[in-house]
Amino acid sequence: MEHDNKVKIIFQPSGRRGEVDRGITLIEASRQLGVDIEALCGEKKVCGKCKVRIEEGFFEKFGVHSSRANASEWQEEEEKFITGTQREEGYRLGCCAKALGDMLIFVPEESRAGKQVVSKAARDIHIDWNPAVKHYYVEVAEPTFEEPTADLERVMQELELRYGLKELNVDYLALKTLPVRLRDKASPWKITVSVWMDKEIIRFLPGNREDYYGIAIDIGTTTVAAYFCNLRTMEVVETVSMMNPQCKYGEDVMSRITYHMMNPGGLEKMSEDIIEGLNSLVTRACEATHPPKKKKKGNGEAEEMTAPVEEGAETAQMVEDDEMLIFKAAEGKHYLCLNPEDVIDMTIVGNTAMHHIFLKLDPQFVGLAPFPPVIHKGLDIKARDLGLKVCDSAYVHVLPIEAGFVGADNVGVLIAEEPYKKGEVQLLIDIGTNGELVLGNREKLISSSCATGPALEGAQITFGMRAAPGAIERIKIDPETHEVDYKVIGRDAWKSFSKPEEMKTKGICGSGILDLLAELYASGVVVKSGRFNKVQKSNRYRINPDSGQPEFVIAWKEESSIGKDIVIAQKDVRQIQLAKGALYCGCKLMMRRMGIKSVDKVKIAGAFGTHVDRQKALVMGLFPDCSLDMIESVGNAAGDGARAALLNREKRNEANWVSRNVEYIELTVEQDFQTHFMEAMQIPHMKDKFPHLEGIVPPAVLDQR
């Protein structure tokens, strides 16, 4: 044991190491040393995802005597997740064990925070051109003794004369650049003025500059996507995305709100993380407009870093370690060579918690009934006041919030889909960590939020994980043999066409989970109530010796990269039931409130909507009965809304209007909520109405119910 206030910690296999304050938890140490350990529950000691192993012995390479005795005492909460054998091997929960002395810590693959495969391409939606920032080109006369008017006033006179712009304000930082830019040698007395909302001059550029750029950002709880747009042509120049760097503080919004409440300065830390993240995202979007950089090979030769592919080819995105490499068209491309200071406008959507944390607005009251946010309406903030490194004088427009958990992301979905302009009754479902629902048409719109929990995103499931390589995304279970076939992200071939060791399976992601439940039920492994069937046909069904709970093996140890069988446990089935029950019950209660029996259209937004098998979602009872062709996936509609608000200022007014004209329903206080919820948890909710599912649900199973 050391006697000063610092201890040495080494994390393996990453090899990251350093000195940290004695007494902090291992998960806090991992954060400080830049190691991503899963912390789904936000260190509430309830998810068990942050399991690590403390090694024993002297590690010469690091000059460290590592000992399990250097960790703080074993805690009761760890019992639930760490078996006796594991305990003997040195396993601890990162959120429980504190560093009291030097340690070398092994982070098992399953505990490493994976990187999600992000697919948030911009959809081709119709947007009218009317950006908040517009460019105006003017030529002014040189000052003379007769007319020695100030630089700004000369420019403003022309702006009024030529474009009818009156009583403009000017941003102070933009003003500073005027005298020199107006006298630019290459184009003296000719200037392009960027005007925000026909109210404020925010940039002067010498000469005539036609093209100018903005960025629309969707801050998701898990993923952040950015659309870099040409504000003149409305073209999406680049799409880039990243994991929300706040994931390390907890997977879901409540964990992050908790982190803020439990840690002084936690809000600032989380906010700065996302601001820094956005800055790197903007930089990356800009870098993509430059010619590929040369990289030194080991032998000193220069090498193309990005592979040239055909013109017009889709931008393929792959995640590798902390960097996202963008393979893009390199041949025949006209490089725009843009820099962050070229970004002259920005729009942002995000759920209420992401919105508040981003803005450093205290989110604690959003987490407490009756969940009032700090602000509803859209906000225009100078980027510089937020620490965003774009054009000095640019504004960031943050879209409005509807209510409590129904945030600016949902407003984004609404202004992209515009249900308030249509006669047909639409049900908009945005499944993220929470389910957000909007129902209605031009007559009336109501919204609500249902606590689906993160199960449909793969969290709080024993082997749940994000949609990252190695995650099971599709499953089939043979009704006769109960043999399992599946497909993992990052590998095209199904298991039945692969050698076991080729699969490298790590867990199950959100869309795989729904598939799994449908298959478990269709094959008769579980029954209507969600319990495991008493009649089981294969050795995949077993009782877990540690928990005493039944479980079903999806992938055997030899197919997995984490050295153990990947199973679905009874409690996991419950989690999925809770999620789908919450969603279904939410939809039904909203329909009751509207006094309707059916809807004309179901639109599913978000990554889940893109990946989910609509038929299976229907049979599982995720949403009310309708025909398959009424269900539409609308992709990242929240991001589309942010883009619409970037390219058309009227959309910002529309957003403010709709955010205050959607009636928010607090579901949990609705009459019979509990009863409806319990009923909705059954699977499948209404199989009788789906004769076409007969093929999926085998007669043998149907009989059993």
Distances 420 to 163, 187, 615, 638 between C-alpha atoms, Å: 34, 48, 27, 16
| Orientation of helix 650-661 relative to helix 637-647, angle to 10° | 130
Least distance (Å) from a second copy to the CB of residue 194? 17
Residue whose tokens read 């199960």: 455
Distance CA 690, CA 626 (A): 10
Query: Is the preceding peptide bond at 550 cis, omega within 30 degrees of 0?
Result: no
Residue whose tokens read 């992050």: 256
**For a second copy, which residue of 150, 305, 307, 535 counts as binding (CB under 8 A)?**
150
Return phi, psi of residue 258, to 5°.
-60, -45
Q: Does 371 bind a second copy (CB under 8 A)?
A: yes
Give the DSSP per-residue string, 291-334: PPPEEE-TTS-EEESS--B-TTPPPEEEEETTEEEEE-B-TT--
Residue whose tokens read 């392009």: 192
Q: Does 141 bind a second copy (CB under 8 A)?
A: no
Q: Does 508 bind a second copy (CB under 8 A)?
A: no
Residue whose tokens read 């054998």: 85
Burial 306-333 (b: 16+ CB within 10 A, else e): beeeeeeeeeebebeeeebebebebeee
**For a second copy, which residue of 83, 149, 538, 561 counts as binding (CB under 8 A)?**
149
Distance CA 46, CA 340 (A): 41
How many residues make contact with a second copy (CB under 8 A)? 48
Distance CA 111, CA 122 (A): 32
Closest CA to 379 of 349, 406, 357, 404: 349
Task: Give the binding range for a second copy (CB under 8 A) out of 16-24, 60-68, 175-183, 438-446.
Answer: 175-183
Task: Give the binding range for a second copy (CB under 8 A) out of 290-298, 369-377, 443-451, 631-639.
Answer: 369-377
Q: Does 699 bind a second copy (CB under 8 A)?
A: no
**For a second copy, which residue of 144, 299, 627, 671 counts as binding (CB under 8 A)?**
144
Q: Does 602 bind a second copy (CB under 8 A)?
A: no
* Residue with smaller CB distance to a second copy, 407 or 479: 407
Closest CA to 436 of 607, 616, 250, 583: 583
Nearest-Å Rg of the Cα atoms of the chain is: 28
Residue 124, number of CB atoms within 10 A of its CB: 8
Least distance (Å) from a second copy to the CB of residue 153? 5
Least distance (Å) from a second copy to the CB of residue 277? 19
**For a second copy, which residue of 152, 234, 325, 626 counts as binding (CB under 8 A)?**
152
Tokens of 518: 């449908």
Least distance (Å) from a second copy to the CB of residue 133? 18
**For a second copy, which residue of 253, 403, 429, 618 counts as binding (CB under 8 A)?**
403
**For a second copy, which residue of 21, 153, 303, 650 counts as binding (CB under 8 A)?**
153
Label each residue of 166-203 as H, E or C. Answer: CCCEECHHHHHHHHHHHCCCCCCCEEEEEEECCCEEEE
* Residue with smaller CB distance to a second copy, 137 or 189: 189
**For a second copy, which residue of 84, 148, 332, 691 counts as binding (CB under 8 A)?**
148
Q: Does 143 bind a second copy (CB under 8 A)?
A: yes
Q: What strand order describes the sheet that includes 601-605?
A: 631-635, 601-605, 426-431, 435-440, 445-450, 663-664
Task: Give the binding range for a second copy (CB under 8 A) out of 5-13, 152-160, 223-231, 621-629.
Answer: 152-160
Tokens of 154: 């000369």
Q: Does 370 bind a second copy (CB under 8 A)?
A: yes
Least distance (Å) from a second copy to the CB of residue 412? 18
Binding mask 657-676 for a second copy (x = CB under 8 A): -------x-x--x-------
Closest CA to 546 of 28, 83, 224, 114: 83
Task: Give the binding range for a second copy (CB under 8 A) out of 57-65, 84-92, 378-386, 645-653.
Answer: 378-386
Least distance (Å) from a second copy to the CB of residue 149? 7
Least distance (Å) from a second copy to the CB of residue 169? 7
Q: In this structure, are residues 454 and 38 in contact, taking their beta carbons and an 8 Å threshold?
A: no
Q: Does 229 bind a second copy (CB under 8 A)?
A: no
Q: Does 361 bind a second copy (CB under 8 A)?
A: yes
Q: Does 378 bind a second copy (CB under 8 A)?
A: no
Q: Does 353 bind a second copy (CB under 8 A)?
A: no
Q: Does 359 bind a second copy (CB under 8 A)?
A: yes
Distance CA 174, CA 180 (A): 11
**For a second copy, which residue of 165, 225, 282, 401 counts as binding (CB under 8 A)?**
401
Q: What strand order describes the sheet that includes 236-243?
A: 236-243, 223-230, 213-219, 343-350, 395-398, 379-382
**For a second copy, which residue of 3, 124, 126, 145 counts as binding (CB under 8 A)?**
145
Tokens of 45: 């000691």
* Residue with smaller CB distance to a second copy, 56 or 666: 666
- 114: CB partners within 8 A, 6+ apart: 465, 466, 468, 469, 470, 471, 506
Q: Does 189 bind a second copy (CB under 8 A)?
A: no
Binding mask 250-289 for a second copy (x = CB under 8 A): ----------------------------------------
Q: Does 407 bind a second copy (CB under 8 A)?
A: no
Query: Is the preceding peptide bond at 264 cis, omega within 30 degrees of 0?
Result: no
**For a second copy, which residue of 7, 133, 178, 477 counts as binding (CB under 8 A)?**
178
Sign of CA dihedral 572, 574, 577, 581: negative
Least distance (Å) from a second copy to the CB of residue 187? 17
* Residue with smaller CB distance to a second copy, 133 or 155: 155
- 526: CB partners within 8 A, 6+ apart: 517, 520, 532, 533, 573, 683
Q: In this structure, are residues 536 and 492 in contact, taking their beta carbons and an 8 Å threshold?
A: no
Binding mask 609-648 for a second copy (x = CB under 8 A): ----------------------------------------
Q: Does 372 bind a second copy (CB under 8 A)?
A: yes
* Residue with smaller CB distance to a second copy, 326 or 381: 381
* Residue with smaller CB distance to a second copy, 171 or 342: 171
**For a second copy, which residue of 404, 435, 454, 581 counts as binding (CB under 8 A)?**
404
**For a second copy, which residue of 365, 494, 673, 690 counts as binding (CB under 8 A)?**
365
Q: Does 385 bind a second copy (CB under 8 A)?
A: yes
* Residue with smaller CB distance to a second copy, 345 or 559: 345
Q: Does 190 bind a second copy (CB under 8 A)?
A: no
Q: Does 451 bind a second copy (CB under 8 A)?
A: no
Positions in the binding site for a second copy (CB under 8 A): 143-145, 148-154, 169-170, 172-173, 175-176, 178-180, 183, 359-362, 364-365, 369-377, 379-382, 384-386, 401, 403-404, 664, 666, 669
